Chain A
């Protein structure tokens, strides 16, 4: 056993010595055939390559030998382990790689490997073009560097499929349907505007700064007392009903963030101008978005909404028609904040192919 170990150590040392020897000879060849000639005989790199072709061949073989010896020595080190544990380790490593790949695919995080590779190759070619004074190499180098940099620069931060959005939203709507069926509540959801963020409120009334939707037991437009809403209660007694956070409340904050303004500080005209841009261009939630006043109602027409599948008949969601999908709910929240009035969804119309969603909102004095 001990002899075997000594023998292994001896061969490892011999391999290292061989590697060093080959490497030093290769370096000497490189120095002599290129650097020396370029320095003292004023030759270009291409000329030295042409005149020293056998040398180039020799040092290429030497460097290949050095690399293969390195691999050989690593393989020897692996053999020293028990064969069963090596197999387990390799299987685990493979599994680990596979899991990493699957995780990256599920996250859909784009890899930056291509960008980095292009950038490195481009930089090397640019350097080579300077040495060889080659215009073609310079153009290729510039092109590769440019595309590498562009791939890294225009890489999206995160990409989520729209089906995932639906899948995450459906369960909350199913829960809401079950609650409303169980409690037998038939009232229209009323969006109650919150107090502006800057307004000072005592600690016990802080709950009034949150946007809520009140669903009453019967169809009336009476809203709960301030005290009850401030307590952040779910079940409200007077009038009987439930208070929930609207599905689009987080989206409204995102709209404000994108617009870099507070909805309490803009008017309806401002909203009509800015909201389509945010929804279509900034957040890309729909391909077309129109908002206008129709008599006493506010009409919104959304084409190709990312939440359109929530309206499909297969889902059989009742609450999505009354309370709205996250996008239409966010519009209701924005209207409530801007007008400072109660907002209800009076009517919603969905095209059979689910491409267009039309919603009519009504503002009611509280």
Chain B
């Protein structure tokens, strides 16, 4: 393959829990994909391995690749991982005197039941709060007080601050300090003064101020967020600096952009100071990738579903927009940072199938066999039946040709253990039981998607379903049909979806001001709030090398009804700065959004409406990858047919002999009529009855309902 010698490659790498993915793209060339195992805690090694794997498919050396790379984009679970393994810095907390326990008492039981399933919640005696990231003896209260208007009631005692800082850093060995005072988001001056003291008295200590990291109301969540940021701060910074050095050493001289949980990129320098922004950036990238693919295919409404080994995750894009998570948590900690809403259940390929010992009622997950020992059929010592074992028993997988033939699956062992543990106790034949379990898994997934669509006022029938991850394409034919989606797309980039999202993201800076204004307020007042945010945003983007035409600014405002609790973030349509007339449209949009989300008749207008937060999303527009369009050929797919096999067909309720295809032998334009199975190097696509699969010009498999 002739590679152009000019610098125009974009390299994207995404570090996940198990695998690190890489994508290299250049205009006019096909997408190059690479994969390697993740290498915690020194993730950078896995990153380089995944790039090497992509470079190999291109026939290029590292040096050659990097010499021609103009942009390096990255996402990583490094912060999630730090929290999970409790491997962060020795952190201290400075807060308002009298409120030292805020972080520890977590608004009562909230920290105890937060993140638990219904089973956990029904069993309180067996539950506990997670150990806090900062124990009580590293928390110091300082004399200061600000009120609900931002008025200083009691000036900060600087001397007491110095004493507290010394005590924490010198006596307790603290390396990172979080600072969170009551109402600081209205008046950050005290927190800023504390930072000055720390820089003077204990320079080199990592500092996080709540007024920088999360300037929003609610002191518990704000404190928790600031603590998380301080705890993981140096690790995130060291990681990104190290990565920067590695790629520079290989000959790369361009920028390093890092994905955030809200679906935008930040330059590494800034990302390094906002560890909290890295949380859940992988799933966010997945949703962004899905949005871009949808745009390419003219679909603005997409359900993005990702089913891997342990979990099934889903996010929704509506009109090109997505929702932010309410009350997000990472591990067992609450935090407030804008984060794309992705919900999940423990239903993945490795999810363990079990029967309730008393009632024999079956369930799938949430326990998982993981990668080791993994499913029984992997032959690595797995003794418990998993969903993957079920899928092989219903005929969806080819025992001889899994992962391109690199592993032979032990179907007999899976069958015999499944018979003993599941089928016989249920009094069913092996096939019948496997079909039943498969249906339960599909139903659980349907219910999950229902939660993020129908329960939010969205109708799945208006949406296209994107299926990602190793296991999703096997099941999507069933739950996609039950939800009655418009059609299903299994993207060519399904196995590296998050990396694909990285290359389709923009640089995004999020700004916000917390302030309560009644409706109506004058446009002048609102514009005055946005002025300083716009100025800061423009300066920031200019600094990052964007000229005016390469930037875009989106305003959105949180509104709520005067006597109700819930706010809805409402995008401001039309021109900005706003005019008085455009505010009517804002209120109409808010009311429509509110009713859509919370139900007809849920709005209570009589007490009036107020605006509570003003948000600015500032974009530095990035060039979108142009995916190579191949020529569309004929429909005849027979050249790709490799045989026939009995597979589970939902409409028939049993296994029916059907055609098996090899994806690599298909050409764009080929049509396959279901029921059928298509084996790809990294996954398997199952077409159900009344479903036709069409390989499009991007090599996506598009499933239509007939």
Q: Do A and B bind each other?
A: no
Interface residues of B (CB under 8 A from A): none
